[in-house]
Amino acid sequence: MQFSFFHLMPWTGLDEAPSEWPAPNAGFDGERGTQLYETYISTMAHAEACGFDWVGANEHHYSPYSIMSNCNLIGAALTQRTSDIKIAMLGNLLPLLNPVRVAEEYAMLDVMSGGRLVAGFVRGIPHEYISYNIPPDESRTRMREALNIILKAWTEPEPFGWEGEHYQYRAISIWPKPRQKPHPLMLLSASSEESADFVGAFPAMVGLTLISDLDVAAKIIDAYRASARAHGREVGPQDILIGQQTCICETDEEAQERLGEAAAYFHRVLMRPQQDAQRIILQKTRFFGDENQSAYFQKRLQTIKGRTIKEQIEAGSILCGSPESVVRQIRRLRDKLGAGRINMNMKIGTMPDEVVMRGMELFRDRVLPHVRDL
Amino acid sequence: MNDATKRALLWIGADAPALRGALDQEYHVLAGAADVDALVAQIAGEPGGRLDVIATGDGAACALALAAAAPERVGHMVLLAPRLASAPTPVEARALVLVGAADRAGSETGRALKSALPHCHLTYVWGAGADLAAEASGRAIAIVSDFLARGEAFLVRQAG
């Protein structure tokens, strides 16, 4: 199996949850921000010494939930601090962005890193569409069209133009092109059988996160496999990435206590401002194909939030415990979902950075030796 | 659409003919008095439900006072290039505050309103100054119409 160390870069200095979205930024402290970036980037670079195969980051806007509005900037910093680990952008919120710019920035990262880019593309969580004034109703059609433009921008041998529904370019010829051929490893996210069917149509791995039920996740993965097969591609464990909040300590009790405290800040403070915007989008648009999917999205979040740490472990939503327990939990994900990659998010809410670092080292010394060959 | 089916819109402050002309098609526009008691009496005579309020310039203070005095009657509030003599007091009505991007004094007032009102959207209009209301550019008309029609959902851009 392969493992990714993921960082969300949360803002940890808030005493109270912002009451509205966007979260007012008058209290942002630039000096503290600089310190957080240094700590977070150093932690991410340390993943290489801890045996992780990827180091991952993603993009969010207008919220203390994450201070990473462009993960490609963090990826660029990591190309200069690491030498072998893959730089996994998980990913750019493609329907919000200029696809040619994304193709260019990913190509730069791939060349700067010596061909270590994992190019992730996500449709994102609904409220992000307000941030960049993109109609949520167009998210799927923009995603599909933009992915095709990027694949062309990376692989076409000659300059070309594009006349599409959402995007028009009279000429495209990016410099640099990616180092990996025919193009960088790609990953798309799926949260439903419908979106898994979409992912399978592209030469891409699939990523699942916020798992509330392993049986539902297994069906989504089955839909991905079937779609890939229908498009002439057999996918295996190496094509399936499962995202998990992760806390590894010396004992189960310590890990559960640590995660419980940190997750309380995550849910109470960091997730709070999004809720208003999320509600508007879900009520007023067709971001999800139908009401069942919209209801499932909301239920999934509420289900995980409402569960105790032990219940989340049992449901397969998180990895939490002693190294020995986490080995068992990883084996279960491998067996139940056929997943060959796990994406571990260890900096949850107010989790102390030294606990994160210690968890990374416990992973290297006492977890990885038992799961690498699965 | 006849007047009976139009939503009521109370106008307070100096006229902005271009904006009013655009809204006349959709709204039954009432001219407001400058006195809060008279305004409360005036809207009491209107059929039930909430009515929306547009205030220009100095009319902003009156609109806020009305929203405080009759919160059950005021729906959405639009404050165009607002001018206030004192700090605003919070009201529950959802407000759109439009300020010309080149209007420095208006920006201060806009920020004060955004900070004080719990449901407030502050928007700067490019290409406009303190005369935002009188000019009522196409940009201003479009966002006011969208806000009145969709309320907080105006945050979300629609397809097409």
**CB atoms A284 and B156 under 8 Å:** yes
Strand, coil or helix: B123: strand
Q: Which residue of A has its CA nearest to B120?
A: A20
Q: Which residue of B has its CA nearest to A276?
A: B152
For A231-268, the DSSP string reads: TT----GGGEEEEEEEEE-SSHHHHHHHHHHHHHHIII
Residues of A in contact with B159 (CB under 8 A): 135, 137-138
Any domain includes B36: yes
Whether the CB of A20 is below 8 Å from some CB of chain B: the reply is yes
| pLDDT band at B3; cut points 50, 70, 90 | low
Whether the CB of A237 is below 8 Å from some CB of chain B: the reply is no
Q: Is the pLDDT of residue A253 over 70?
A: yes
% chain A with pLDDT above 90: 83
Strand, coil or helix: B124: strand
| Cβ pair A164, A145 in contact under 8 A | yes
| Cβ pair B98, B132 in contact under 8 A | yes
Instruction: Summarize pLDDT for B97-146 with one digit per residue, the tens.
Output: 999 989 999 999 999 999 999 999 999 988 899 999 888 788 899 999 99
Residues of B in contact with A20 (CB under 8 A): 118
% chain A with pLDDT above 70: 98
Whether the CB of A277 is below 8 Å from some CB of chain B: the reply is yes
Most B CBs within 10 A among A276, A278, A285, A286, hence the mutation to make, goes to: A285
Please report, for the domain that includes residue B53, its CATH number: 3.40.50.1820
**CB atoms A137 and B158 under 8 Å:** yes
Least Cα distance to A215 among A293, A317, A345, A331 occurs for A317
Residues of B in contact with A281 (CB under 8 A): 156
Q: Residue B142 has what pLDDT?
A: 92
Q: Residue B1 has what pLDDT?
A: 44
- The boundaries of the domain holding residue B136 are 3-155
Any domain includes B160: no
Q: Is the pLDDT of residue A284 over 80?
A: no
Dihedral angle computed from the Cα positions of residues B98, B101, B106 and B107, in that order, rounded to the nearest 10 degrees: 100
Phi-psi label, residue B133: left if phi above 0, alpha if psi -120 to 50, beta otherwise: alpha
Complex-level ipTM:
0.77
Pairing of β A168-172 and β A160-163: antiparallel
Q: Which residue of B has its CA nearest to A280?
A: B153
Q: Residue B4 has what pLDDT?
A: 64
- Number of compact structural domains in chain B: 1
Any domain includes B28: yes
Measured between CB atoms, which of A129, A138, A284 is closest to B153?
A284
User: A2-371: which CATH topology?
Assistant: TIM Barrel (3.20.20)
Whether the CB of A27 is below 8 Å from some CB of chain B: the reply is no
**CB atoms A129 and B150 under 8 Å:** no
Whether the CB of A44 is below 8 Å from some CB of chain B: the reply is no
Whether the CB of A280 is below 8 Å from some CB of chain B: the reply is yes
User: Average pLDDT of A265-276?
Assistant: 84
Query: Within 13 Å, how many C-alpha atoms sit on residue B146's CB side?
Result: 14
Residues of A in contact with B157 (CB under 8 A): 129-130, 133-135
Whether the CB of A284 is below 8 Å from some CB of chain B: the reply is yes
Most B CBs within 10 A among A62, A130, A279, A280, hence the mutation to make, goes to: A280
